[in-house]
């Protein structure tokens, strides 16, 4: 039996970060991954393939829009398998960075198989090897939630783990769930040419987002998608020709929809149910691992990161947690995780950027003593020039100007809003962004315009303007 300073179960973004970091510090590390190659959901089924598909769909959409606007004709039929090949090529390119042999060259012992705890220190790999870990990190990710819908299993369905294997574009696609994954994929397939209907149990879209942002994205998506809100899929039947008939309940109304494919995007669940955690004393809460701020579980030498935690189910958050775990697990540090400055982006078109508190959360937490700065994109020259004016920037601060939250919907928002992440994390006030010289014309000017409002209120409201007028008269 081999013994290790650190055993990492799961080769996704967090697990790879922890394994590489610990090995580089001189620790003896084992990485256990159930798939043939590491990379996790993000590389194989999530971030990378979805963004490759989104970009391919966006190119098709742009070409059609340009043809309508500038009066030329597009000919030929869409080669949908070419888009899927583009997705696979992106995965293959990035896989080189996550390749098992690359980690072996770093000094990590990589085991292919399913890791299961035999006790607090011993992990069995498949039905064979058992390894001992002085410290152990759980990083096994998550998988799609499959709702208990009558006939769903018998008729067949897609998830984010299977949709990228399609070789034929469905003429009619039903997406169950209007979260980020559902919306990103729904819009992409609509742009390829599918007739897409999104069924959502809630009354509206994106409940975690600032409510000033939502109307912009809803208006944009409703031009391309059909939504059924306050609706629930009751049952699914397979028709003679292979099509699927979906019965949807909305209040007292029963709606019948026919589709070629059904995509389930109703959330995710942590991969903890087969880890043998009952043999360890690690506490779970509805399947999620309970951890302290140091990312230690209820068993101090066992840590957990990534989607098995409830907090922030994002790749970049898992990477941050992986870095913290290296210091804590390998060197006994007590570094604490902090999610206050972790942003996220929903990659619809336009994109949605989210950082920190929404206005409602800020008012509930701090009270009325907050400041809100808003700029609509039709007031920003670069967006006007691009003719991409649907969107806004909203920044929430305390009364001193310290950034509490920032929210944006707009073309490429995930890129040009990064400046405020640094500002918030570094403790800068919103006014500091106004003092940064931004090239003209750029999309980032939208954020600068919001920051300019801070100085306008400072200089032109209250007692300051009176003092300035008195000084100017004296100076003359």
Positions of CATH 3.30.390.30 in the chain: 350-460
Burial of 318 (0-12, 13-18, 19+ CB in 10 A): buried
- Residues with Cβ < 8 Å from 469, sequence gap 6 or more? none
CATH topology of domain 2-143+269-331: FAD/NAD(P)-binding domain (3.50.50)
Model confidence at 252: pLDDT above 70: yes
Q: Which residue has the tokens 């026919």?
A: 258
Dist CA 201 CA 3 (whole Å):
49
H helices, E strands: number in the chain: 17, 23
pLDDT reported for residue 468: 62
| CA-CA-CA-CA dihedral for 424, 425, 426, 427, to nearest 10 | 50
Alpha-carbon Rg for the chain in angstroms: 25
pLDDT reported for residue 380: 97
Q: How far is CA 222 from CA 14, 183, 186, 205, 215, in A?
A: 36, 11, 11, 11, 10
Q: From start to end of 292-434, where are the E strands?
A: 302-304, 344-346, 351-356, 370-376, 392-398, 403-410
**pLDDT tens digits along 362-382:** 999 988 789 999 999 999 999
pLDDT reported for residue 465: 66
Dist CA 472 CA 76 (whole Å):
69
Tell me the two tokens of residue 161: 């783990």
Contact 109, 30 (CB under 8 A): yes
Model confidence at 464: pLDDT above 80: no
Closest CA to 219 of 345, 349, 344: 349
List the single range of 48-52, 80-84, 458-462 with lowest mean pLDDT: 458-462
pLDDT reported for residue 46: 87
Tell me the two tokens of residue 163: 């949709």
What percent of the chain has pLDDT above 70? Answer: 97
Q: What is the mean pLDDT of residues 225-254?
A: 96
**pLDDT tens digits along 167-223:** 999 999 999 999 999 999 999 999 999 999 999 999 999 999 999 999 999 999 999
pLDDT band at 98 (very low <50, low <70, confident <90, very high): confident
**152-266 maps to which CATH number?**
3.50.50.60
- Residues with Cβ < 8 Å from 345, sequence gap 6 or more? 351, 352, 353, 354, 413, 414
DSSP 429: B
Positions of CATH 3.50.50.60 in the chain: 2-143+269-331, 152-266
Q: Is the peptide bond before 441 cis (omega within 30 degrees of 0)?
A: yes
pLDDT band at 16 (very low <50, low <70, confident <90, very high): very high
| Class of domain 350-460 (CATH, top level) | alpha beta
DSSP β-bridge partners for residue 269 = 143
pLDDT reported for residue 42: 85
């Amino acid at each position: 039996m081999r013994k290790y300073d650190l055993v990492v179960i799961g080769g996704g973004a967090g697990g790879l970060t922890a394994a590489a970091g610990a090995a580089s510090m001189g620790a003896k590390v084992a990485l256990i991954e159930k798939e043939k190659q590491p990379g996790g959901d993000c590389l194989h089924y999530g971030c990378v393939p979805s963004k490759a598909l989104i970009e391919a769909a966006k190119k098709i959409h742009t070409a059609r829009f340009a043809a309508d606007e500038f009066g030329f004709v597009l000919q030929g039929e869409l080669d949908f398998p070419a888009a899927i090949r583009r997705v696979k090529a992106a995965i293959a390119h990035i896989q080189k960075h996550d390749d098992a042999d690359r980690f072996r060259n770093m000094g990590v012992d990589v085991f292919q198989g399913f890791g299961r705890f035999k006790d607090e220190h011993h992990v069995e790999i498949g039905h064979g090897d058992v390894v001992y870990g002085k410290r152990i990190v759980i990083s096994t990710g998550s998988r799609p939630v499959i709702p208990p819908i009558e006939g769903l299993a018998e008729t067949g369905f897609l998830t984010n783990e299977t949709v990228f294997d399609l070789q034929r574009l469905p003429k009619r696609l039903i997406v169950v769930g209007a979260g980020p994954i559902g919306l990103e994929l729904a819009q992409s397939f609509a742009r390829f040419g599918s007739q897409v209907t999104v069924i959502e149990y809630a009354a509206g879209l994106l409940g975690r987002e600032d409510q000033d942002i939502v109307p912009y994205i809803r208006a944009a998506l409703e031009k391309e998608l059909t939504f059924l809100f306050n609706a629930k899929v009751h049952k699914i039947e397979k028709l003679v020709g292979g099509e699927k008939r979906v019965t949807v309940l909305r209040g007292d109304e029963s709606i019948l929809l026919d589709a070629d494919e059904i995509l389930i995007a109703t959330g995710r669940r942590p991969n903890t149910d087969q880890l043998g955690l009952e043999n360890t004393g690690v506490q779970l809460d509805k399947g999620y691992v309970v951890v302290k701020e140091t990312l230690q579980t209820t068993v101090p030498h066992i840590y957990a990161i990534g989607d098995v935690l409830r907090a922030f189910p994002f790749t970049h958050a898992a990477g941050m947690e992986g870095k913290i775990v290296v210091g804590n697990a390998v060197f006994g540090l007590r570094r604490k995780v902090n999610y206050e400055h972790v942003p996220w982006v929903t990659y619809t078109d336009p994109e949605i950027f989210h950082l920190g508190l929404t206005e409602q959360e800020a008012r509930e937490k701090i009270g009325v003593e907050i400041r809100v700065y808003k700029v609509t994109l039709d007031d920003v020259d670069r967006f006007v020039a691009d003719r991409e004016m649907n969107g806004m920037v909203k920044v929430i601060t305390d009364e001193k100007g310290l950034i509490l939250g920032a929210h944006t919907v707009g073309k490429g928002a995930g890129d040009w809003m990064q400046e405020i992440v640094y500002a918030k994390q570094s403790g800068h006030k919103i006014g500091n962004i106004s003092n940064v010289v931004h090239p003209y014309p750029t999309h980032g000017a939208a954020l600068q315009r919001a920051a300019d409002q801070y100085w306008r209120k400072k200089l032109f409201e209250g007692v300051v303007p009176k003092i300035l007028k008195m000084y100017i008269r004296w100076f003359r």
